[in-house]
Amino acid sequence: MAGTLVARARVTRRRKMSPSAFLQKYLGYLMLALVAYWMLTKFIKSPSQFFSAALDGLENGTLYALIALGYTLVYGIIELINFAHGDLFMLGTMMSALVLSKLGVDHSSLTGWLGLVFTLVVVMAACATLNVIIEFLAYRRLRRAPKLAPLITAVGVSFILQNIALHFHGSTPKQHPSALPAASFNIGSVQINQAFLVVIAVTAPLLLLMTFIVQRTRQGKAMRATAQDQDAARLMGVNVNRTISFTFALGGALAGAAGLMYEQTVGTTSYNLGQQLGLIAFTAAVLGGIGNLVGAVLGGLLIGLIQGLNDGLPLLGQLWSQSVVFTVLILLMVFKPEGILGKPTTEKV
């Protein structure tokens, strides 16, 4: 029925804007303009500093994109903010450190690279499995429950994972050696680390593969069908449970890959890493438009960029790094909750 379609009518109408709506609309633009102005002045003052800060940001941004995809996939299919996803990533960093230290991998040799690839596969598989188990144990029973229930469960799972990690890892962050090459080269006056290129070389194919799976394969079609209407999908012969499990597996695998990359580039593991990065990644997912895969990647890169510029130029400096990202999140929620590529939705009557 027409009434149940997505309503854009409210947006297209200009007449009789209340003062608060007016403020909301233009305050948003004003802030964007201020940020753009700030970036421009920094750029003119010192292009090389600008670019290196931006590159640092983009490196983090690719990781955020990987994690954000996990959020967006799960939200897209069962409308649940999987609070535990960030912690899954955190477990990924720890597993990476564990596997790599057992293998004794060092860089600059063929076995070293093979070891890295092996670790990537192991961690991705482990995180995927873990995510599927979490879904099976904690979320599946609550699929038809009121929304508050699975949300609280997800928070609980997140807390459990954090404390499991706390037990095995201890409360202090640990530093790990990197197996990636430490060399770097310059383009103009901007320094580029080889490690950064490795991160790109791993994440880009994963992102492409993900898009391919969702857009082109049978399983992807089942995912999209389940996302639209679970009951209808079931009637059309889609195994909804398996499809949701598959989605969690995909998200988990990406979180695992992000875990390894983080462990290799940043080099620290900490039990509360997931909560911080999870929130950032979720911000990225919302920024891009939740449920939208391309949006998640775009959002991840953008958030990384914002953070890189804030830390590197600096706007408020590293001390306030988290606050800057959360401020972005909050502003976003207020001014454009549907994100860059998302569609506005209203409730069905």
Q: Which residues bind another protein (CB under 8 A)?
A: 1-10, 12-13, 15-16, 79-81, 138, 141-142, 144-153, 155-160, 162-164, 166-167, 275, 279, 282, 286, 314, 316-317, 319-320, 322-323, 326-327, 329-330, 333-334, 337, 346-347, 349
Tokens of 344: 């506005």
* Choice between 149 and 209, CB closer to another protein: 149
Give the shortest CB-142-to-another protein separation in angstroms: 7
Beta-bridge partners for 349: none
CA distance 51 to 317: 17
Q: At its nearest, how many Å lie between another protein and the CB of residue 244?
A: 17
Nearer to another protein, 96 or 158 (CB): 158
Instruction: Write down the least CB distance from residue 183 to another protein, Å.
Output: 33
Q: Classify burial at 219, counting beta carbons within 10 Å of its beta carbon; exposed 0-12, middle 13-18, buried 19 or more.
A: middle
Nearer to another protein, 200 or 315 (CB): 315
Q: Is 160 exposed, middle or buried (CB count within 10 Å of its CB: 0-12, 13-18, 19+)? A: middle
Distances (CA, A) of 164 to 100, 158, 185, 323: 20, 10, 40, 27
Q: Least distance from C-beta 298 to another protein, angstroms?
A: 19
- Cα(343)–Cα(6) distance, integer angstroms: 9
Distance CA(259)–CA(251), nearest Å, equals 12
Of 190, 159, 240, 160, whose CA–CA distance to 59 is shortest? 190
Q: From the CB of 227, what's the least distance to another protein, in Å?
A: 16
| DSSP H/E element including 75 | helix 47-78
Cβ neighbours around 323 below 10 Å, total: 11
| CB nearer to another protein: pick between 1 and 201 | 1
Quick one: 74 or 298, whose CB is closer to another protein?
74
With respect to another protein, which residue has the nearer C-beta, 40 or 145? 145
Shorter beta-carbon distance to another protein: residue 12 or 186: 12
CB of residue 2 vs another protein: minimum separation in angstroms?
4
Nearest distance from residue 167's CB to another protein, in Å?
7
Report CA torsion sign: 41, 42, 43, 47: positive
Residue 284 burial class via C-beta count within 10 angstroms: exposed 0-12, middle 13-18, buried 19 and up: buried
In angstroms, the first-to-last Cα distance of the chain is 10
> Which backbone phi and psi does 24 adopt, to 5 degrees?
-60, -45
Query: Least distance to another protein from the beta carbon of 345, Å?
Result: 9
Q: Of the two residues 34 and 204, which places its CB atom closer to another protein in the complex?
A: 34
